[in-house]
Structure 1
């Protein structure tokens, strides 16, 4: 019977059609240069819907972890959480609980089958109105995570359509965009980049999804 880690790797290989490993490596080079001196938080978001944000963030997080970086992958897509299924973890406590409840985040972080890679799921989101996110709490949770990891990588929904993503970006050092080849409109890409830059954050690059 195949191990869980083998199943994860197999899924990534089967989805090579969506995002090439070469694109992941190019983004990885930029991220490595940025986090060389101090822990950083980055957000992976999309230009429009129907993108494989979770898959792409998992591939990037695994690539960084394989280089020896201590990586925390955070599922901040409260409306459509998927990373807990991808890594076969329970989703009882996670990001939403850490931000909205008075409890430490360290006990909610789970190790994965990939060395150096940990996961913070969305947690139970049903009882928490998404508009209740408190900026001070977000900052506190991010700072706590930076004490234990070199890179915190947030997976978030479509940037222009998500108030939570636009709030979370304030506590990240940079953004990685996902766009669909021949499907994402140039105007929407430009508007997304401009919105991110208005927040004072840098767009590290754009990953093109072909599927």
Structure 2
């Protein structure tokens, strides 16, 4: 048990970004569960216990995707951690309406015990580590031995760790984080999808020896519905 739950929060009627919690039977929620299933079957020999969600460019919906997939894992009975490793423009604390005075950055800099930065949610099986205060040297923190040790600690304590990272083409953080996880997923928005930027991002991930397991095309509209949802998930090995 890590800390106290935020008893005043109700994610079934809370932030609309958390649709898997708010509307679990919706077509959009089903697409997030499909992503969860595809992650599970993306590796036959080695179970995937940690996944990085990133994008080539900003505003692709990677953070929303990461949060909802984390909820989908938690709903499936997996002890899940959502880790906000975007130390430049973090959003997870806004999405879940949490305090961000302590988080990943303080855990690394001050070598805080994991239990001091874990935040429980009202969603059963889902814990969160927010980014913490934005540091002056995000890349150096992510590349540090302390970060590697922290990540090994959380992967030992959780069935699944979902990591939100900055866009690949903006900074090096995503490449560095991709070396820590079992698999990486690129998220792109259909309205601003750019083949060249995706190809460049894919090349950078391959140069970092990351395991790119899929691409999510966000905001593709289904002809028979007004809802936008996650349309494509493909193996990119």
Q: Does 1:41 align with 2:47?
A: no
**CA offsets per residue over residues 34-59 of structure 1, 9 Å max, x none?**
49975722110012121222211111
Runs of 5+ consecutive residues of structure 2 not aligned to the other structure: 1-7, 220-227, 229-237
Higher relative contact order structure (alpha carbons within 8 Å, sequence separation ≥ 6): 1
Alignment counterpart, residue 13 of structure 2, candidates 7, 19, 22: 7
> Who is 1:183 aligned against?
192
Alignment counterpart, residue 27 of structure 1, candidates 13, 28, 35: 35
Runs of 5+ consecutive residues of structure 1 not aligned to the other structure: none
Aligned residue runs from structure 1 range 1-150, under 5 A: 4-8=10-14, 10-13=16-19, 20-33=28-41, 34=43, 40-126=49-135, 128-133=136-141, 134-150=143-159
1:42 touches 1:176 (CA, 8 Å); kept in 2? yes
More helix by share: 1
TM-score, structure 2 length as denominator?
Answer: 0.78
Distance in 2 of aligned mates of 1:15 and 1:180: 22
For the aligned residue pairs, the C-alpha RMSD in angstroms reads: 2.6
How far 1:174 moved relative to its partner?
A: 0.9
Distance in 2 of aligned mates of 1:149 and 1:168: 18
Aligned pair count? Answer: 207
TM-score, structure 1 length as denominator?
Answer: 0.87
